[in-house]
């Protein structure tokens, strides 16, 4: 009979995998994509909504083109996976049989590591905006409502977390907005890490020059609790910092459907030739949810690359062929430091057969010399390109 692949999660990893399995099997494999959200909202560029230069409409895309290319889209949430029966139970009651299952559920938050955030109303008051959507718009509204002279504080969890440079880009975007609209206001970065996790020298130079007196960076502030009512972050050492707008990026793990399926405890180990789980057969895991290879960021670009390696391997395996023994992956992360200028970090990752992992090719990639408008153009074109590649 016909082979059936079920993909859980229509984000950067899942939508790309669904599209390429359909494309590379020339329609011979049936592909069902399970995603609860009606539309795709991009995390990349979502910090620009906070900065005021993009709108929610600019980062929201539909699933129509993917459906037109033959991917069956089921708007529902995967509730449980029965690996022995090779089936997925959906919240709506439907059950889907699969030959191969692809999970790209992104991240979920470890709220138990911030007890105050579990209190009634806390998560409505103190936002993460670390999954683009309603929270992005709500955090923008909080910034707009904040009086001039106020403080925006942002907590960053210990690495690894989704999008290593993302919090620092966010700080720049909010500072850019303040410099235009609320010049007496301040941005305070409370970083659990000892130093800026990504593009450190570039970000610190920008903070010290164009955002001098606006952005303050405080390393090794590991937020372990929050008092949401007063907008206070509390560090491991007992330091308390209050802000007019407190934005907490919580510590993260793989999306709960992957944990529940038994493919991982915090992150999911995979075979990097196929992205098949090392724990459960016929189940592949992509994107932020995986236990990453050395120096591999949790990024949309990387999720897209995982998805293509996985799609090729799934089509090969279901056709009785051996998958590519030597995949190559690339990554570029652009960060907007204001409404036009951008810095980047890039890398190339090659499969190492002896160590069975992906390793950065020595001398590949690197970072920008400094922020530029030319890179701003590249960053916008990167976004358009990956949206087309993901959603068709």
Q: Contact positions toward ligand FAD, by CB under 6 A? A: 8-14, 34-37, 43-44, 46-47, 77-78, 104-106, 130, 162-163, 166, 255, 257, 287-289, 298-301, 303, 333-334
Indicate the residue whose CB is closest to ligand FAD.
11
What tokens does 314 get?
């799934």
The nearer residue to ligand FAD, 352 or 360, going by C-beta atoms, is 360
Minimum CB separation of residue 316 from ligand FAD in Å reads: 22
- How many other CB atoms are found less than 10 A from the CB of residue 141? 11
What does the angle CA 348 – CA 378 – CA 346 come to, to the nearest 5 degrees?
20
The nearer residue to ligand FAD, 92 or 183, going by C-beta atoms, is 92
Minimum CB separation of residue 40 from ligand FAD in Å reads: 7
Minimum CB separation of residue 132 from ligand FAD in Å reads: 6
Minimum CB separation of residue 108 from ligand FAD in Å reads: 8
The nearer residue to ligand FAD, 33 or 146, going by C-beta atoms, is 33
Going 386 to 45 to 241 to 255, the CA torsion angle's sign is negative
Per-residue b or e along 310-340, where b marks 16 or more CB atoms closer than 10 Å to that residue's CB: bbbbbbbbbeeeebeeebebebbbbbbbbeb
d(CA 273, CA 319): 16
The nearer residue to ligand FAD, 234 or 257, going by C-beta atoms, is 257
DSSP state at residue 306: H
Instruction: Say if residue 147 is exposed, middle or buried (CB neighbours under 10 Å; 0-12, 13-18, 19+).
Output: exposed
Bridge partners (DSSP) listed for residue 347: 331
Minimum CB separation of residue 230 from ligand FAD in Å reads: 25
Q: Which residues contact 386 (CB under 8 A, 6 or more apart)?
A: 12, 44, 300, 301, 304
The nearer residue to ligand FAD, 185 or 335, going by C-beta atoms, is 335
Minimum CB separation of residue 229 from ligand FAD in Å reads: 26
Question: Cβ distance 367 to 205 under 8 Å?
Answer: no
Minimum CB separation of residue 202 from ligand FAD in Å reads: 15
The nearer residue to ligand FAD, 162 or 182, going by C-beta atoms, is 162
The nearer residue to ligand FAD, 202 or 234, going by C-beta atoms, is 202
């Amino acid at each position: 009979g016909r082979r059936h692949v079920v993909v859980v999660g229509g984000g950067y990893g899942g939508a790309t995998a669904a599209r390429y399995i359909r494309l590379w099997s020339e329609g011979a494999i049936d592909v069902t994509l399970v995603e609860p959200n009606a539309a795709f909202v991009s995390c990349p560029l979502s910090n620009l909504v906070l900065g005021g230069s993009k709108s929610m409409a600019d980062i929201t895309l539909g699933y129509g083109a993917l459906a037109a290319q033959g991917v069956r889209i089921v708007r529902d949430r995967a509730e449980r996976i029965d690996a022995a029966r090779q089936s997925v139970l959906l919240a709506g009651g439907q059950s889907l049989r699969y030959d191969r299952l692809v999970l790209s559920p992104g991240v979920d938050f470890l709220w138990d590591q911030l007890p105050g955030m579990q209190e009634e109303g806390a998560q409505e008051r103190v936002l993460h905006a670390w999954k683009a959507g309603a929270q992005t718009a709500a955090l923008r509204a909080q910034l707009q409502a904040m009086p001039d002279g106020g403080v925006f504080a942002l907590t960053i969890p210990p690495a690894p977390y989704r999008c290593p440079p993302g919090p620092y880009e966010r700080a720049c975007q909010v500072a850019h907005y303040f410099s235009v609209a609320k010049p007496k206001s301040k941005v305070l970065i409370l970083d659990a890490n000892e130093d800026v996790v990504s593009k450190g020298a570039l970000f610190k130079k920008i903070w010290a020059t164009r955002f001098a007196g606006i952005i303050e960076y405080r390393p090794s502030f590991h937020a372990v609790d929050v008092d949401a009512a007063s907008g206070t972050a509390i560090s491991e050492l007992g330091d308390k910092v209050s802000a007019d707008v407190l934005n907490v990026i919580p510590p993260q793990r793989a999306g709960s459907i992957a944990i529940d399926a038994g493919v991982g405890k915090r992150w999911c180990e995979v075979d990097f030739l196929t992205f098949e789980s090392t724990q459960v057969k016929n189940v592949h895991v992509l994107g932020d949810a995986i236990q990453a290879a050395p120096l591999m960021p949790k990024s949309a670009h990387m999720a897209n690359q995982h998805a293509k390696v996985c799609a090729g391997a799934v089509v090969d395996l279901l056709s009785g062929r051996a998958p590519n023994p030597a995949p190559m992956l690339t990554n570029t992360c652009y960060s907007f430091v204001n409404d036009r200028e951008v810095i980047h970090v890039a890398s190339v990752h090659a499969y190492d057969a002896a160590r069975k992992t992906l390793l950065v090719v020595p001398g590949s990639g690197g970072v920008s010399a400094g922020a530029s408008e030319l890179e701003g153009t590249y960053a916008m074109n990167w976004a358009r390109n990956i949206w087309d590649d993901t959603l068709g």
